[in-house]
Chain A
């Protein structure tokens, strides 16, 4: 992150150098504390059940075992969940961007008649909301969206913060290009599609990723609106696996053979966690810079 690099060379006294070392150690420990739990779970998912119960902590299992992964592969539900999540995320993000950019563009134009009125409408939604119950009744009883994908897509179609980030970016674009194509007879829609959107790829990437990660990680909406098990998303299924497992620990009398085999054991829990985490970690290196950029665009202008 060259942008943040603070290139000041302070003349160091011995005390100063000690503090400097302590700062490095503290930041390093913090970074270590963030990754250790992931490594622990990753290592555990490849370990045998015996090793997991005997040894308290290891980063490399002594016997490498794929049993846990075989179990969840055979079971298959977490993969079905990942498929559903992918579908929800892709379509959901497209809907988010469509609604957010088309709202942001008129609000970015100083000659749009209702600009102030609609901007105030947006700000009010940031300050006050009807709450969970009226929204739930709207989606379930009035719009009848329960057990449809629309229940996961529509209620959060425009996030006010994200929309304002896009609007601010549009406002920062040089006006000359838009004006030139306007003089060439382009309509506002053509200017939006052919001039404004292509210039806005960085902010669309950032905000698109904010939305996408939100969809991928969402649990509550799926809990509220989806109870058809074939539509379960990955987060719901992971949660179910964890719950099953913790019940199995307390309820010894549970007849697991009737439910098709052994209870989800520790390694299976870990493997399921890994499988649900990996997709986001695989794309993380690519999305990281867009996220930081997006936060900064929002921070500087919001």
Chain B
């Protein structure tokens, strides 16, 4: 290891800014595109949320310039939020209810699914069987939601969908039309997610499990521990940190049901239950061009997510977990 003075550039020495800019010229230049990207595409929209407090107009009479609409649109305080919470046409409580019914159902079923499957995979001792099943269950992750939606349509539709007809036979001709009945919308979305992502979701837990020292299992077995005690005292503690981090992120996205999947599965008949924040913001804001109102809904969603993530992280830390930062 060379420790000559020439090596100074590699040590975190505080140089005066001007000299630092010269010595590390290329580091600054390299960071520039990424930083510019973040300023333009992440931070400018963050300041753009100001439009949630305005009656934002695309064109302002007598003013031109890139940011004129943001500067000269009339400020209306919290009016957009008032409209959002109280107006019948927005129907905030239905939005919140639909969003929560999907995300809570997904927290209850979709979240634990990969954990359970990875515990099962971990018990499989035949390397070949494990490899083949793993290869198969990862596949749906790589397929787009448009394809998943179209396959779902082909399997569940009432004219020639195989799943519908099998259900129909089992239920004596009274199978529900899952694609259109509103009460099946949340289970349909969560079911799709489970089908698509459970397999792939096991990777992260299997990675945590692969780090477990096998001697722990052997020692416990010598002490007479059975399968369940091994799982409870060794396997589960090994993935606890990962589970907590995933849970924090999940809690943070309780209002983010995602746009694509819901938009793709929604139709005229199940629409009442398919109105969630993300699709609402798209339809109100972009299709109907009510920019300020839907920006307010977006801001509400972002703020709630931030609060949820930070508090979940705080709680995890108070419980002695490492949290995610």
Contacts and interface: CB of A to CB of B under 8 A. Distances in A.
Given A35-B139, A127-B306, A131-B45, A273 B120 contact: no
A270 B6 contact: no
A114 B302 contact: no
25 contacts: A1-B127, A6-B209, A7-B125, A23-B123, A27-B117, A31-B132, A33-B195, A106-B28, A106-B31, A114-B31, A134-B45, A134-B46, A134-B48, A134-B295, A137-B291, A141-B69, A158-B34, A175-B10, A179-B2, A238-B146, A276-B144, A277-B147, A280-B144, A291-B138, A292-B138
B190 interface: no
B159 interface: yes
A299 B227 contact: no
A204 to B, nearest CB: 16
B127 A5 contact: yes
Given A103-B31, A129-B302, A134-B48, A157 B37 contact: yes
The 3 closest A-B pairs by CB, nearest first: A103-B34, A131-B298, A134-B48
B51 interface: yes
Interface residues of B: mostly helix, strand, loop or mixed? helix
A6 B24 contact: no
Contacts of A6: 122-125, 209, 214
Contacts of B135: 285, 288
Nearest to B6: A183
B298 A5 contact: no
B147 A276 contact: yes
A122 interface: yes
A20 B123 CA distance: 8
Question: Which of A33, A37, A218 has most B Cβ within 10 Å?
Answer: A37
Contact of B154 (A113, A270, A284): A270
Given A20-B123, A131-B302, 7 more contacts: A23-B123, A32-B136, A112-B27, A113-B15, A182-B10, A280-B142, A295-B203
B101 interface: no
Nearest to B293: A133
A134 B150 contact: no
A277 B131 CA distance: 22
Interface residues of B, number: 119
A30 B31 contact: no
B104 interface: no
Interface string B122-161: 1111010111111111111011111101110111000110
B160 A52 contact: yes
A10 interface: yes
Interface string A94-110: 00001110110111011
Nearest to B51: A134
Interface in B90-106: none
A258 interface: no
Contact of B150 (A27, A31, A238): A238
A37 B199 CA distance: 15
Contacts of B252: 127
A192 interface: yes
A288 B204 CA distance: 14
Given A118-B35, A138-B44, A131 B49 contact: yes
A24 B66 CA distance: 61
B191 to A, nearest CB: 11
Given A103-B35, A131-B298, A30 B160 contact: no
